[in-house]
Structure 1
Amino acid sequence: MKFSDAVTLQGKHASLVPLTMAHHDGLCEAVRDGELWKLWYTSVPSPEAMSKEIERRLNLQKLGSMNPFCILDAKGEPIGMTTYMNIDQENRRLEIGSTWYRQSVQRTAINTECKLMLLRYAFVDLACIAVEFRTHFFNHQSRKGIERLGAKLDGVLRSHQINRHPDAKDSLRDTCVYSILAGEFPAVDAHLSFQLHSSNL
């Protein structure tokens, strides 16, 4: 089994299905909720760039370095995108990233459930040794979300990338690198499962 092989992950609140160009219009509608492409500290495609971004992700899948998903809500409507990326099958590692959700579903049970499904598949079915998460130092919402999953900060890659967003004026990005190890996953699984069943979500 290749880590980049298309797979569908089904949950109660959402499902993760293989990304295709057929999701284009629904994703364009989703990204307009909150005008997410205007956030300078993250990279979210604009409606005009959605087709190119879907094509980019699918091309990386063909190369074996990415497994892209479209996130669907309980009604089957596209609400965002996520991926397994920077796949290193030889060393049984991958990163969960390039994720965005329409604003109206952010900070809901959907994100927790999707991350749990991705982690379970990575650790149980793919037998990963470690799963990484990376985000901009100033993306505090993303950092808090990753930390709530139970991931631990491995370190900060300083001046890691040039931030090419028009509002960032080619500033340098410091990247926070987090990870969950295989031995830590049972506790993370129990923690996220409890969150999903708690009244707080």
Structure 2
Amino acid sequence: MTLPAITAPLTLSGQHGRLEPLSPAHENGLIEAVNDGQLWRLWYTAIPSPEGMAAEIARRLTLHAAGSMLPFTVFDAGGRIAGMTTFMNIDATHRRVEIGSTWYRRDVQRTPLNTECKLMLLTHAFETLGCIAVEFRTHRFNTASRRAIERLGAQLDGILRAHQRASDGTLRDTAVYSITAAEWPTVRTHLGFQLERSR
């Protein structure tokens, strides 16, 4: 069976939100979203500032053209732009991806939107793309992100110490999590249960 290209653009829709291929036309909505909470001021993560949004869109689209990223714009249930997410660090040979470079406007954080978006991305990765594993990475000190990843059912693979240098010069320890294809059926049931409880 021939599997589809991991980087093939697509739209994924659910009850709480929608993922559309990232477009320069989304810039104004993304600027409005990132201003909700001034998210770019968080020191332990890299979220584009309003004035840097056009460059960030261009960066992600360049990586898409190079075959290493599939970027999405996140919309909430009302059709408002709520953030960004991606399939990144794509390994087409071994059918592995990372879900990352994700951020959401403050007023949709801790709502079912993130859970449903992750469920849609994971379903596509495992059931359409035939991935053997999906990774999640975050700063060791980004405790909110780490708890959110753990709530999905991902397992901690380990900490990459002094993994990267942040824009402010500090060293980042990166927490690496993953869900494997063998774990996916249980994780899918778990995420479906979480969404049912949120209704």
Gaps of 5+ in 1: none
Gaps of 5+ in 2: none
**Mapping for residues 5-84 of structure 1, pairs under 5 Å:** 5-84=8-87
Q: How far does residue 74 in structure 1 lie from its aligned partner after superposition?
A: 1.3
Q: Which residue of 1 aligns with 2:189?
A: 190
Q: Figure out how many residues of one structure are paired with residues of the other and give that number.
A: 196
Tell me the secondary structure at the aligned position of residue 90 of structure 1: coil
Q: How far does residue 56 in structure 1 lie from its aligned partner after superposition?
A: 0.3
Q: How far does residue 182 in structure 1 lie from its aligned partner after superposition?
A: 0.1
Tell me if 1:90 matches 2:101.
no
Q: How far does residue 2 in structure 1 lie from its aligned partner after superposition?
A: 1.2
Paired letter, 2:158: G
Q: Which residue of 1 aligns with 2:117?
A: 114
**What do the CA deviations read for 1:2-42 (whole angstroms, capped 9, x no partner)?**
10110100000100000000000000000000000000000
Paired letter, 2:182: G
Cα RMSD of the aligned pairs, angstroms, is 0.7
**What do the CA deviations read for 1:27-65 (whole angstroms, capped 9, x no partner)?**
000000000000000000000000000000000000000
TM-score (norm 2): 0.97
Instruction: Give aligned-pair identity as a percent.
Output: 61
Tell me if 1:103 matches 2:103.
no
Q: How far does residue 164 in structure 1 lie from its aligned partner after superposition?
A: 1.1
**What do the CA deviations read for 1:162-194 (whole angstroms, capped 9, x no partner)?**
0113xxxx1110000000000000000000000
- Could you tell me how far apart the structure 2 residues matched to 1:93 and 1:40 are? 29
Paired letter, 1:47: P
Paired letter, 1:182: A
Q: How far does residue 77 in structure 1 lie from its aligned partner after superposition?
A: 1.3
